[in-house]
Amino acid sequence: MKKNLGLIICLLIIFGATHHVGFNYYNDIMSLSFVIGGGFGFSLLKNQKNLFVINFGQGAVYFGWLGTLIGLIALTGGKWENWGDIEKMGLALSVAMLTLFYGYTIKLITLLFEKNGS
């Protein structure tokens, strides 16, 4: 019961913050699919059926970081010729950081499935 309440409180805080800033800044299907696919693949790689959801959460965080690194490399490498253009760089940076946001949000949800004392 306490875990459920804790998750609800955390998700409400996240929801409130994203609502205040604007939900349109937090929508990127490619970033979300990268994190979900990576989390799923990581969980399969670990091959622990009884810990599938926990490993999925860990994988989501790992792929959140990987997605951010890939985005930052693309941003600083001049892939889209946006270096020095503040408007383009800001948008690209926000998309690059979305994978971290998605990864940690998914990890937060999967904490509900951990056993007590884990």
For residue 70 the two structure tokens come to: 């890939």
Residue 99: inside a domain: yes
Residue 21: pLDDT band with limits 50, 70, 90? confident
Q: Are the CB atoms for 91 and 75 separated by under 8 Å?
A: no
Comparing 104 with 84, the larger pLDDT belongs to 104
Domains of the chain: total:
1
Predicted local confidence at residue 63, as pLDDT: 97
Domain containing 80: what range?
Answer: 28-113
Phi/psi class of residue 30: alpha, beta or left (left: φ > 0; alpha: ψ in -120 to 50)? alpha
Residue 90: inside a domain: yes
pTM for the predicted model, two decimal places: 0.85
Residue 80: pLDDT band with limits 50, 70, 90? low
Residue 85: inside a domain: yes
Give 31-72 pLDDT, tens digit per residue.
Answer: 999 999 999 999 999 999 999 999 999 999 999 999 999 988
Residue of 91, 96, 102 whose CA lies nearest to 33? 102
Give 98-113 pLDDT, tens digit per residue.
Answer: 999 999 999 999 998 8
Residue 12: inside a domain: no
For residue 3, pLDDT beyond 90 = no
